[in-house]
Structure 1
């Protein structure tokens, strides 16, 4: 890929970068880089300057410590970002040590794990930090030997003089390098990609050996002197208010230290009304909840249910009068009036929970001066820090957040309600560290759910079978005017811009159900709807979905690049989409019949700047038992796969997640509360449902993007389209009811 294209697509360091060098006590070098980067918090916002920091420390024994600034939730970012630094530093990976950064906006800029943003935000800045350190080490060797630094080389943590054969380790040079003038960061040369030795190398997760050994690195493992444990009882009905609770009965239980009411602040993302129970261990605290005779004012929300939402949504779709049109091209009504054939279908999908393996937890210590120290497994630790400070009337710098390893997140830990609960409890117990742990039931019933949704779709075909019009009346939820709306549908969702006459309209339902981002937010639902309905269109044409997609994608050229959250990012490129579609067809032998009793289905989606096309091969028994045998996935996430080991894990995990969502997962609301409570009635996918998965990446001339999300959306329509090919019956509502297909 050209340097020009790569620089246009990724944030970089500049002359305004604040790069500092310093000597370590006992010798060595520490390198700090404060990296200005243009960012936007939300669509439509004016660009604002944000800061990213990376730290390199080189000890005399040649140990190189690199700070992993972003939270690690299993996506491998604690390994892959330091790989970028180490590559350009020309370090010996075996001598690299990685430590997790605390939450600190001033030092590190945005620290988050979500939206597959970590790679595109850090691809160039982390490399430039490493390259600057390498340049300073070369200059230190140049001064010692009296040789032009341009004639020196670096190899695996050493500086070499090819002419004389002399060499010095980075550790031997570190103290001198600390006195070298910081180079102009905009002019620091980067490696030619063909010389990469660490980027592109399959490296196991840096924490994996520690996890296998059972070392206490997760949030729930936090231990402090004098630690006590807390359980938090909140209303099962969303939006309810606490009326009364029998605290004396709870306090009388053996091992219970205290119990008290915590008043909410009216913000479900921070603090809802509840009762905190403090005990010597968590089991005692959790068990004592049974003694609470608690009364709630459930208000109007106690009448809400999934069945009620579904009934109202179907009435709105049948009425055919959307509240608003949010995307329109051409003359949709004229296209349908002149159509030779009109297809109609209604699609729906349920609420979904996140259920990470490690339930929500947080440890907090309120100090004598009123400041708070926290140990939090958060995907947005800085958001939690700011929110806790605001809730408690503190300055952000009075809230210290140590970021712990997370046992999964999938978007749940983007919302920091558990941090606010922990801080509110600790505030009432100054000087005593308190660890709040949710039960699995708390975790399922107190989530920020993937929103349910309903779509009434219509497509018009002319006398030649060409798709001339597309209409979607979307029934969603009114979540107010926040910066991010997980129930929203973007106006440019495919096939927008590829069908001459298109209209997206919506109507909204009221609800108190908390909703948030779940892995591949919006895309995990909309892919099912749009790709499944387009499969119906293709069938009516006498074609198939991948060929219809290729036809539609051929109607226009690339979309312009845009200013986004990660700086300038490439617009949608039809050629990239076509390439992964064709690759997946080749991988899955599309067009070749499957074995008897099996069929193949296809799905494509562009999500979080990544392009994925997938072919699924499935079967169904005469009792409706669905088996996914094979998934062939082709992806394009840019010019480099930083860590192939981690990349494969992300794609395989996303595909398994998608299969689980399609086949068995749904959260039902009844009486204003969640019906499901644990894994027995929310059966996440396990080993027996895991198919054979083959993954291939197409490398293109674009800066690398993330892999946490984009592989998930296509597998859901690919599966339901395979079942349609197999049974002749369409799946238009999730999760799949296998018995209805036989």
Structure 2
């Protein structure tokens, strides 16, 4: 028999579990069902088998961030089951059971730190209640330990497996009434735990969307216009269908929503290679499109023109910036720019779909499955409840798979083909049809008074958007962006340009670019005023605790803590060899406070070599999985440095020029460097780690380059020719 803790009613027992709307029910399955495939725990969180093994379901998508391990750790801790007795299953998309299921914004920990522990606590309480009834003793006299219920007074004990069937007739307790463990009693939380699927990953077992196989499956490619959204003018379908193995080639009219089904040509074949060869024969011609008038060079030129004139609007205006600049002892003026970036996930976008009898079944490596379901439903004219989405492990996400364009393409092609279809993009498709991190331009002025205090800050931010107060996706900047609220005279102006290029969130959206600008210019002001960069930053943060109110408050005390810690562990101020320097930067994003120091040596030919990075992070009172936490921080720092050193998407005539890793290189093994991670523990709820460690890495590197060479990097990626001795 098995105990099944589920998130929606399958039989008679229900209870509300948390403020997020979680619902728990218990059902019983036979021993045969527990051992075989007959049991269909669609809504299950926990199943306890007769042998005491516990299967825990992970509710959210796994993109390599370790969520498939971390969330079940929370349940297992309160269930009081040894981790060695835990198996993990991936949930399908089921919002009625699990609520919103997504991977983004580093939100899994803050959203589920409590409710997932309460899932485990309810299951544990039910097992205790079953034992107490069997032993005719008060439940309060029973305890648990390592998968056993114990009654010390009578020296009785029972395994979870032996008690599971007896839970069927019991009413679950109110989860809010249960007392969760004291952290001092944690046995799983806080223990370094490898990702659950690591062994399968390193041995090449099928886990990812690209590995999915279903009976009778065909393969598809989908060619879209190089200019985003352009329609098909003509295509040689007969030539494509003449390739051996090609079953069908057809034009898709598509629409104008850059996040939806765009116009293109589908080729379906017995093998993916045959589909690609057929696509190569299409010789597609594309209709004219207004985005063909846009290019990166034109954006930069227009940004400079806008900055030279009055802004379109003012987002913030504290004090009197003009007067403060005029009265400052030292002023600095600089222009900063950063490019469009591609996500470059190592697994290109892909999706497998079956459309049959008015129903759709989808296997997708998606970060955001429910909007994908709604997109497919709307586009195909199918009820959302007739669409099943299996969430498959993503080979990298970084925000790219928050969009589901590849999902709706696969579903459409499968419907038109009348057979199961796996759609697989090429690397060039993936890079040239991304939702890019937007480029941006900042024209800054700053002033420091005679006492070394930053008294004036002005930024004319030129970005993209339709006008008014709207920005293109992920192209905006909040009026509270640091150092706003810390400078008495602060003015943030905004101007925007129209954009036909699709944009969207990239790991640490907004912050991944803004930190480079703000922390670099702060560094300029520190050096220009003759102050140590660490001391200047601490002076800027001041001695206050909170700046602002509510969810938008900035905790200066926590930031001071990580700045002081990273300065200490990096031995800030020590003498370094020629053309070697250290740079510091900090940033608050996704509820995490991070400060970082990077040491770099710049060769005479201008090549920067990062020697080491030190990171101090404050993400609250508990690190759930230290192994995964350090992995996330190290990956974030390497990711940020890779962006700074190499990455740039260039738009010419409305199309992306880069198409593969030869023109859009990522950091290589010989460029990697040690990243030393330190935690500053504070009494705040734990928060996520997938993103907040990335933003400071970029300005820490560029500030280190200045310390090594005296040359300031104001545009990314780093131009090595400017750093020559």
The answer to whether the superposition gives a TM-score over 0.5 is: yes
Alignment-derived partner of residue 27 in structure 2: 22
Report if the CA contact (8 A) 2:566-2:614 is conserved.
Answer: yes
**Cα–Cα, structure 1 residues 479 and 692, in superposed 2: closer, same or farther, change >3 Å?**
farther
Following superposition of structure 1 onto structure 2, how do residues 89-100 of structure 1 map, counting pairs within 5 Å? 89-100=79-90
Alignment-derived partner of residue 382 in structure 2: 394
Unaligned runs of 5+ in 1: 1-10, 30-51, 563-568
**Cα–Cα, structure 1 residues 597 and 334, in superposed 2: closer, same or farther, change >3 Å?**
closer
Alignment-derived partner of residue 543 in structure 1: 531
Matching of residue 485 in structure 1 with residue 473 in structure 2: yes
Whole-Å Cα distance in 1 between the matches of residues 651 and 439 of structure 2? 11
Shift, 1:570, TM fit: 8.0
Alignment-derived partner of residue 719 in structure 1: 701
Alignment-derived partner of residue 49 in structure 2: 59
SS of the counterpart of 2:114?
helix
Whole-Å Cα distance in 1 between the matches of residues 83 and 266 of structure 2? 46
Shift, 1:596, TM fit: 3.9
**Cα–Cα, structure 1 residues 695 and 197, in superposed 2: closer, same or farther, change >3 Å?**
same
SS of the counterpart of 1:237?
coil
Report if the CA contact (8 A) 1:53-1:107 is conserved.
Answer: yes
Report if the CA contact (8 A) 1:12-1:124 is conserved.
Answer: no
Alignment-derived partner of residue 327 in structure 2: 338
Given candidates 320, 324, 329, the residue that maps to 2:318 is: 329
Unaligned runs of 5+ in 2: 1-15, 35-41
Alignment-derived partner of residue 135 in structure 2: 145
RMSD: 1.9
**Cα–Cα, structure 1 residues 727 and 557, in superposed 2: closer, same or farther, change >3 Å?**
same
Shift, 1:372, TM fit: 0.8
Whole-Å Cα distance in 2 between the matches of residues 336 and 656 of structure 1? 37
TM-score (norm 1): 0.92
Given candidates 708, 714, 735, the residue that maps to 2:690 is: 708
**Cα–Cα, structure 1 residues 454 and 62, in superposed 2: closer, same or farther, change >3 Å?**
same
Given candidates 190, 193, 216, the residue that maps to 1:200 is: 190
**Cα–Cα, structure 1 residues 234 and 615, in superposed 2: closer, same or farther, change >3 Å?**
same
Shift, 1:26, TM fit: 3.1
Matching of residue 384 in structure 1 with residue 372 in structure 2: yes
Whole-Å Cα distance in 2 between the matches of residues 633 and 88 of structure 1? 31
Alignment-derived partner of residue 225 in structure 2: 235
SS of the counterpart of 1:504?
strand
Matching of residue 626 in structure 1 with residue 631 in structure 2: no
Following superposition of structure 1 onto structure 2, how do residues 168-567 of structure 1 map, counting pairs within 5 Å? 168-319=158-309, 321-368=310-357, 370-430=358-418, 432-478=419-465, 485-554=473-542, 556-559=544-547, 562=550
**Cα–Cα, structure 1 residues 170 and 560, in superposed 2: closer, same or farther, change >3 Å?**
farther
Given candidates 659, 663, 677, the residue that maps to 1:695 is: 677
Report if the CA contact (8 A) 2:453-2:540 is conserved.
Answer: no
**Cα–Cα, structure 1 residues 135 and 483, in superposed 2: closer, same or farther, change >3 Å?**
farther
Shift, 1:560, TM fit: 6.0
1:388-427 CA deviation, whole Å, 9 max, x = no partner? 1111112211111000011111111011110011111112
Alignment-derived partner of residue 645 in structure 2: 663
Report if the CA contact (8 A) 2:330-2:529 is conserved.
Answer: no
Report if the CA contact (8 A) 1:54-1:129 is conserved.
Answer: no
SS of the counterpart of 1:428?
helix
SS of the counterpart of 2:382?
coil
Given candidates 663, 675, 683, the residue that maps to 2:657 is: 675
TM-score (norm 2): 0.94
Q: Which segment drifts farther, 549-558 or 169-178?
A: 549-558
Report if the CA contact (8 A) 1:28-1:57 is conserved.
Answer: no
1:15-73 CA deviation, whole Å, 9 max, x = no partner? 975332221223999xxxxxxxxxxxxxxxxxxxxxx9861111111111111000000
Of structures 1 and 2, the one scoring higher in RCO (CA 8 A, sep 6+) is 1
SS of the counterpart of 2:31?
coil
SS of the counterpart of 1:577?
helix
Whole-Å Cα distance in 2 between the matches of residues 177 and 576 of structure 1? 46
Report if the CA contact (8 A) 1:28-1:58 is conserved.
Answer: no
Whole-Å Cα distance in 1 between the matches of residues 453 and 84 of structure 2? 58
Report if the CA contact (8 A) 1:600-1:616 is conserved.
Answer: yes
Whole-Å Cα distance in 2 between the matches of residues 702 and 557 of structure 1? 14
Whole-Å Cα distance in 1 between the matches of residues 281 and 631 of structure 2? 44
SS of the counterpart of 2:223?
strand
Shift, 1:583, TM fit: 0.4
